[in-house]
Amino acid sequence: MASGSASLMWFRKGLRIHDNPALQYAAEGTKFLYPVFVIDPHYMEPEKNAFSLGSARAGLNRINFLLESLADLDSSLKKLGSRLLVLKGEPSEVLIRCLKEWEVEKLCFEYDTEPYYQALDFKVKNYASTAGIEVFSPVSHTLFNPTDIIQKNGGRPPLSYQSFVKLAGQPSSPLSHTLSSLPLVGDVGSCVISEVPTIKELGYVDIGQDESSPFRGGESEALKRLNEIINDKEWVATFEKPKGNPSAFLKPATTVLSPYLKFGCLSCRFFYQCLQDVYKNVKRHTSPPVSLLGQLLWRDFFYTVAFGTPNFDQMRGNRICKQIPWNDDDELLTAWRDARTGYPWIDAIMVQLRKWGWMHHLARHSVACFLTRGDLFVHWEKGRDVFERLLIDSDWAINNGNWLWLSCSSFFYQYNRIYSPISFGKKYDPNGDYIRHFLPILKDMPREYIYEPWTAPLSIQTKAKCIIGRDYPKPVVLHDSASKECRRKMAEAYALNKDLNGMVSEEDIRNLRRKLKEDPEQEAKNKRIR
């Protein structure tokens, strides 16, 4: 092949045509362009032992969302005279083989701050540099370059939203140029190329509409959704995140653009620009941190801290994370995970998570607080794993950041503020319509008992065709005593962290755990007799 004739666009996130600097650069001055996506079997292929349908790493809803996004990308590329080349295997091995086979001179892919991609990209860039291949890896998944912000702050990421905003300045603008055509795909040689697979082709059984996410993946869907939102200027101008209703499910109280941002079906820079256009044309509008635009800043905040904090996704060895003697109680964890806590508000949210792969931000708060510092005192890493698997918008930086936040391990420290698994939902949805929808076993429970069905007289339970303890579980803990106990443990743990100036060893944690267990009477009181 002639020199400079082939370039490879490696899609990972950034599954879009619009505002895609890597794609645009890949398409410039080349005869052939190879748009590639590598399916990592570990991420995509069925894993029997997982607690939900899906692969070792991802639940079926997110795999499906990704496949839909890839199919949409393929169709858009075809309209531009190209196509998506799908390959299977360990991504760096596959990619390096392609680079050799196609004599690629220019490799382009979006820069990624996640540890998984940092390690992967290191291998690929290493090969490219020895082979003399030009690499272009622009930052386009976030508004700002996390590296720049960390550098501006003296090498450490800012740990509060306000200090982040002060450092951030103006975000980068989306590309104004729209691609009208792409170079041809060259000969693929001996590389095995496939079409975007269906869920069945990957070895999954179809689970049916009722059990799966109502949100369809892809750039086209993202732009359609964005358009609908942007056209409702009043809604955009008055959006206030903390005032949203977590129990709204017929029409969610937020944009549900998060899964599209996660996979890069939607450019956050384009979204940012659209929001500013709306703000310019209205008399008044809400502002960060609570406005829609503020949500994009929060996203960048978490990306920046996550990138600049070693071991961000764990408690140990994480310098911004409080060391807390969390329980290692698998029974409580699985009750929470499988929607069997006996608190309808909590269980309904967990059902929505499993079926839809999405729930409102405040609903996430409610269940995360309940699992960790609020009631069960289970390690936030365990809850993080469940979210990471089941959410279609699961994003490494944001998911871990929010678990750190909600468990009062970092960013937020007012552990006395505990969401009530009873009153929090009730104030938005006194009739319990949300519960009735996601937990149909409780659909005939009268409204005065729907949030606390164990308090309903047996005659009422019988009439509602739901006996507590048989058809629906009794509460795994009593919120009043359990939350009080959690407060006590948090206070002790905080005191220890303060005394030791954050240098808490594993042994210190063990000792504290022993000390906190000295009150078995209290422990027993928290648990309901089952």
Between residues 245 and 314, which has the closer beta carbon with respect to DNA? 245
Answer yes or no whether residue 239 interacts with DNA by CB under 7 A.
Answer: no
What's the order of all strands across the beta sheet hosting 6-11? Answer: 85-88, 32-39, 6-11, 106-108, 134-136
Question: Is 296 marked as a binding-site residue?
Answer: yes
CB of residue 145 to DNA, shortest distance in Å: 19
Task: Tell the smallest beta-carbon distance from residue 217 to DNA (Å).
Answer: 23
State the amino acid at position 74 in one-letter form.
Answer: D
Q: Angle CA(492)–CA(493)–CA(499) in degrees, nearest 5?
A: 90
Q: Any binding-site annotation on 387?
A: no
Q: Interface with DNA includes 525 (CB under 7 A)? A: no
Report whether 84 belongs to an annotated binding site. Answer: no
Instruction: From 255, 251, 250, 249, select the one nearest 224 (Cα to Cα).
Output: 255
Q: Of the ranges 157-165, 169-177, 467-475, 515-523, which one interacts with DNA (CB under 7 A)? A: 157-165
In the bound state with DNA, the residue whose beta carbon lies nearer, of 42 and 498, is: 498
Is 257 annotated in some ligand binding site? yes
**φ, ψ of residue 519 in degrees (nearest 5):** -115, 70
Strand partners, 39: 88
First-to-last alpha carbon distance for the chain, in angstroms, is 73
287 binds DNA (CB under 7 A): no
Q: Is 98 or 293 the residue whose CB approaches DNA more closely? A: 293
242 contributes a contact to DNA by CB under 7 A: yes
Q: Which is nearer to DNA, 161 or 235 (CB)?
A: 161
Query: CB of residue 419 vs DNA: minimum separation in angstroms?
Result: 4
CB of 98 to DNA, least distance (A): 39
**Shortest distance (Å) from residue 159 CB to DNA:** 3
- Using DSSP's 3-state secondary structure scheme, residue 527 falls into strand
Of 137 and 295, nearer to DNA (C-beta) is 295
* Angstrom distance (rounded) from CA 425 to CA 432: 8
Which residues are CB-neighbours of 368 under 8 A, at least 6 positions away? 380, 383, 387, 402, 403, 406, 407
Nearer to DNA by C-beta: 263 or 415? 415
389 to 418: interface string for DNA, x by CB under 7 A:
----------------x------xxxxxxx
Task: Name which of 137 and 394 has its Cβ closer to DNA.
Answer: 394
Residue 441 sits in the site that holds DNA (CB under 7 A):
no
- Site for DNA (CB under 7 A): which residue of 253, 362, 442, 504? 362
**Residue in the block written with tokens 């729930």:** 359
d(CA 212, CA 61): 7
**Residue 258 is assigned to a ligand binding site:** yes
Q: Mask of contacts with DNA, 473-512, x by CB under 7 A?
A: ------------------x--x--xx--------------
Contact between 467 and 442 under an 8 Å Cβ cutoff? The reply is no
- DSSP 3-state of 18: coil
Cα distances (angstroms) measured from residue 10 to each of 31, 45, 111, 142:
17, 21, 11, 18
Q: From CA 408, how far away is CA 493, in angstroms rounded?
A: 11
Residue 286 to residues 184, 240, 279, 289, 500: CA-CA distances in angstroms?
Answer: 46, 7, 9, 9, 42
Largest CA distance in the chain: 83
The count of residues interacting with DNA (CB under 7 A) is 37
Q: Is the dihedral of CA 427, 433, 435, 438 positive or negative?
A: negative
Per the annotation, where are the binding residues for FAD?
Answer: 254-258, 295-302, 393-395
- Under the rule (CB under 7 A), what is the footprint of DNA? 158-163, 166, 241-242, 244, 289-290, 294-295, 298, 320, 361-362, 365, 405, 412-420, 422-424, 427, 491, 494, 497-498
